[in-house]
Amino acid sequence: MTPQGHPSDSLIAFHRQLAQGEIGLTTVAYAAVAPHGRTFAEQMVMSHQTAGSLERLCEAVHQEGAKVSLQIGHCGGFTKDPIHRESGGPLGPSLGLNRYGLFNGLGKIREMTERDIEHTVQQFAHAAALASSIGFDAIEVHLGHGYLLSQFLSPALNRRTDSYGGNLSNRLRFPLRVLREIRKSISPKTALLVKMNLRDEIKGGLELEEAIQIVQALEGSHEGAPLADAVILSGGLVSHSPFYLFRGKRPLQSMVAVEKDRRQKWALRLFGRLVIKEYPFQPLYFLPLAEQVRRATRLPLVLLGGVLDKAHIFQAMAAGFDFVAIGRALIENPSLVRDYQQGHKSRSPCNHCNECVAEMDREGVRCVLPHHLKAEGTQAPARRALDLQ
Ligand SMILES: Cc1cc2nc3c(=O)[nH]c(=O)nc-3n(C[C@H](O)[C@H](O)[C@H](O)COP(=O)(O)O)c2cc1C
């Protein structure tokens, strides 16, 4: 991304590279549905200003014979974007503490009114319609990781007493409204994908039992089309349990180094080890939970998390998943899928050091693995500067 939140030429080149590497669908993430939906000020917004470059990105991917999806979301009460100062602070399901924006004077989350909710539904629908009209083959709506719709789904973060809080059908009301409006607004040829949590990994948060009920609700149809064409299963809240979703090492030193705010830097240095928990990496780490969802629905499901080796892909297919999603192993080598297909490689050297996560705040996402650790047959240079966000 450019510092102004515009998709850069290197972002377009990266997605082209993934398409050349024989992936089926590449996802551009994360696009806020409105300026107030940004987690930080430089984040991309799906708008007429970004549409031109995103259209070029779609064309580049299509030229290589692959498909492209746009992940859309809203930060809700998880933001440090100063834009929220002018409007009196960020909005979320309930009054609460925005730890992420604490040092930016944005510590207080205000409760959304029904009017705010309706306005945000329309923002999602407009962003999705625009993305569909410029050539995205799929829209991925973020219902996970602690963004706004996930905040509504989470009993720990949503303490409303109106028809948007309380039991699961109430907490689902807003996300379902968003999906129905998007369905109405996008081309019937555009797929509608949902990314959601298997569990929040926070005390009193969303747990698997309710996650299964959410997936079952997504099987429901809207004017003949299912509410979701496929569901991507993830977990964790970026605000509270970020390394639950990225399992592996916690790159604290680099996180401190890239933090621009002096007070936040000190807080990370002093309390990082205490508040940011590390979760050991395991291949296919969401599989045990995701298998239980698989048994409960016929919706196409995407298995995510720790897909590294060629054998992991076959294992996921054997377990009944329709697709796999790969993050870090493709950052290490965008040609991984082609290498697997052509038999050049069967393993990814990604060691889940998670330095790529910290790199997002430096010059853009890149793999820092030194050349000698990269397996033979990799065509990519040792240090690539990529910017996924
Ligand atoms: C550098 C980086 C940036 C990411 N950005 C996003 C994002 O914008 N939205 C999202 O839903 N997940 C994001 N993720 C999470 C991945 O989609 C994925 O859930 C996670 O990396 C686990 O999959 P993996 O084991 O294949 O890497 C990001 C991951 C990495 C490493």
For the stretch 263-317, pLDDT in tens is 889 989 999 999 899 999 999 999 999 999 999 999 999 999 999 999 999 999 9
* pLDDT of res. 129: 98
Q: Is 356 in the pocket of ligand 1 (CB under 6 A)?
A: yes
Is omega for the bond preceding 147 within 30 degrees of 0, making it cis?
no
Q: Is 284 in the pocket of ligand 1 (CB under 6 A)?
A: no
Q: Is 150 in the pocket of ligand 1 (CB under 6 A)?
A: no
Q: From ligand 1's centre to the CA of 285, what distance in Å?
A: 14
CATH code, 9-373: 3.20.20.70
**pLDDT tens readout for residues 122-156:** 999 999 999 999 999 999 999 999 999 999 999 99
Cα 280 from chain centroid (whole Å):
21
Q: Which atom of ligand 1 is nearest to the CA of 365?
A: 1
Q: Which atom of ligand 1 is nearest to the CA of 357?
A: 1
Q: Is 362 in the pocket of ligand 1 (CB under 6 A)?
A: no
Q: Is 286 in the pocket of ligand 1 (CB under 6 A)?
A: no
CA–CA–CA angle 18, 325, 32 (5° rounding):
80
Q: From ligand 1's centre to the CA of 87, what distance in Å?
A: 30
DSSP state of 36: G
Predicted confidence band of residue 389 (pLDDT cuts 50, 70, 90): very low
Which residue has the CA at smallest separation from atom 22 of ligand 1?
305
Among 3-7, 110-114, 357-361, top mean pLDDT goes to 110-114
Helix intervals (H) in the chain: 9-20, 48-63, 83-86, 114-133, 148-153, 168-171, 173-185, 208-218, 242-245, 252-258, 262-275, 287-294, 310-318, 328-332, 336-341, 355-359
Q: Is the predicted pLDDT of residue 386 greater than 60, yes or no? A: no
Which residue has the CA at smallest separation from atom 21 of ligand 1?
327
Best probe residue, ligand 1, of 18, 245, 258, 348 (max atoms within 8 Å of C-beta) = 245
Q: Is the predicted pLDDT of residue 333 greater than 70, yes or no? A: yes
* pLDDT of res. 380: 38
Predicted confidence band of residue 378 (pLDDT cuts 50, 70, 90): very low
Predicted confidence band of residue 379 (pLDDT cuts 50, 70, 90): very low
Which residue has the CA at smallest separation from atom 18 of ligand 1?
327
Q: Is 238 in the pocket of ligand 1 (CB under 6 A)?
A: no
Q: Report the pLDDT averaged over residues 376-388.
A: 36
Q: Is 152 in the pocket of ligand 1 (CB under 6 A)?
A: no
pTM attached to this predicted model: 0.94
Best probe residue, ligand 1, of 38, 44, 141, 328 (max atoms within 8 Å of C-beta) = 328
Q: Is 328 in the pocket of ligand 1 (CB under 6 A)?
A: yes
Q: Which atom of ligand 1 is nearest to the CA of 350?
A: 27
Q: Report the pLDDT averaged over residues 20-43.
A: 96
- DSSP assignment of 312-334: HHHHHHHTT-SEEE-SHHHHH-T
If you average pLDDT over every residue of the chain, what do you get?
92
Among 148-152, 197-201, 221-225, the minimum mean pLDDT is found in 221-225
Residue 130 exposure: Cα atoms within 13 Å on the Cβ side: 22
Q: Is 29 in the pocket of ligand 1 (CB under 6 A)?
A: yes
Kind and range of the H or E element at 251? none
Q: Is 365 in the pocket of ligand 1 (CB under 6 A)?
A: yes
Q: Is the predicted pLDDT of residue 47 greater than 50, yes or no? A: yes
Q: Which atom of ligand 1 is nearest to the CA of 356?
A: 1
Q: From ligand 1's centre to the CA of 18, what distance in Å?
A: 15
Cα 132 from chain centroid (whole Å):
19
Would you name the residues annotated as active-site residues? 147
* pLDDT of res. 372: 60
Distance CA 182, CA 205 (A): 27
Q: From ligand 1's centre to the CA of 15, what distance in Å?
A: 15
Q: From ligand 1's centre to the CA of 246, what distance in Å?
A: 7
- Going by C-alpha positions, the residue among 231, 148, 139, 219 that lies closest to residue 194 is 231
Q: Is the predicted pLDDT of residue 28 greater than 80, yes or no? A: yes
β pairing state of 67-73 and 138-143: parallel
**Dihedrals φ, ψ of 374, to 5°?**
-80, 140
Q: Is the predicted pLDDT of residue 371 greater than 80, yes or no? A: no
Which residue has the CA at smallest separation from atom 23 of ligand 1?
305
- Going by C-alpha positions, the residue among 218, 90, 239 that lies closest to residue 156 is 239
Q: Is 312 in the pocket of ligand 1 (CB under 6 A)?
A: no
